[in-house]
Amino acid sequence: MKTPTSHDAQANPNAPLVTSRDEGRVRILTLNRPEARNALNAAIRLDLIANLHEAEHDAGIGAIVITGEGTAFAAGADLKELLARTSDQQRDFLQPPHIYSVIEGLAKPVVAAVNGHALGAGLELATACDVRICANEAKLGQPEISLGLIPGGGGTQRLVRLVGSGQAARLVFSGEAITAEEAYRIGLVESLAPRADVVAKAIELAAAMARQDAHSLAAAKRALRAARELAYPEGLRAEIKEFLALHARDEAKARIRAFLEKR
């Protein structure tokens, strides 16, 4: 089936807000609001969550790539919706399960193919993913301070963990958008590529992940999450628990024997 283009999405109001396609064991999910630079309104968030759950429960899928249609990854939250909500409605909107906690809670790895600008909620979406491959042309930032706000989808928390408190403060306090090269230098993204190649590079990485044992991937994600959320001694205990559970499986023993025999 033909994947909708930017022109199709603008011309067809019934076009899906998130398109889905597979390459081998990789599910590619594309935000499809190019006329709004893929701004994250409530509908696209719900559609993305549904697609993520579907990929999570598909045994034929081992890893997921998220990207954007057109020239933006996601240029922020939908400001019209934000303005229309009461404070109580916004409080309810930010409660889990929201898109960021869903991505972080998946057992399968998620790679962000940041094909263009990732700003505000768009950067929060990218930082909720496990790895970020970024287009050279992209700019990234948390501009909420210029609207009299701060990031509300976990942006401050993930930024500190990714780039340290000083760089996080610089981005949040100034609201500035930085270049992809600068984002790579400070550790906000893991790799750079030309825009034309960024999705292919993300798929290549995701495919390498998808070839691994699913139980081991899920355990690795839990251990890495423990490193972010727990004190160091507790994180070590969580890692040992995951390791021992995998060590008890026949799969690990078979892979170790195969490795020794090949050597």
Catalytic residues: 124, 144
| 139-141 vs 117-119, strand pairing mode | parallel
Question: Tokens 């898109």, residue?
Answer: 99
Rounded to 5°, angle at Cα 32 from 37 and 139: 35
- Give φ, ψ of 231 to 5 degrees: -65, 155
What's the CA gap between 238 and 234, in Å, rounded? 6
Q: How far is CA 139 from CA 105, 176, 183, 188, in A?
A: 27, 10, 8, 11
Question: Tokens 């993305």, residue?
Answer: 48
